[in-house]
Amino acid sequence: MNFGTRLKGLRKEKKLSQLELSKALDIANSSLSLYESNKRFPDQEILKKIADFFDVSIDYLLAYSDHRSDALQATRAFHAIDLYGLGDEDIQKIDEYVDFLKAKKANKL
């Protein structure tokens, strides 16, 4: 996977056209098209705008990580659970279950 593929996938998840996304990001539609086809790469400012818009980490955008947010990585490290191969939703469910168990234990004390 690469940046362009990931960007296009995120855009399609939100059911946005290239024109709609380019307007939301305040960039030229042609620039977005070039990003998605990996013919051009955004500068740091635009990369941050894209990450913020989709609420994902820059590592996820760059395909360095399959976890959409840094918070999920922190959760994994905090709980020391091997989550390799699980998706973001699965990890979130595990985090919620750990919180449930902690609350349950706190109520028994």
- 73-98 per-position pLDDT tens digit: 554 455 556 677 888 888 888 878 87
CA distances from 59 to 11, 38, 68, 98, 108 (A): 17, 17, 8, 26, 40
Q: CA-CA distance, 21 to 53, in Å (whole number)?
A: 9
- 53-67 per-position pLDDT tens digit: 998 888 888 887 776
Tokens 């109520």 label which residue? 107
Mean pLDDT for the chain?
A: 83
- 35-44 per-position pLDDT tens digit: 999 999 999 8
The model's pTM: 0.62
The predicted pLDDT at position 91 comes to 81
Domains in the chain: ranges and CATH: 3-61 (1.10.260.40), 70-108 (no CATH)
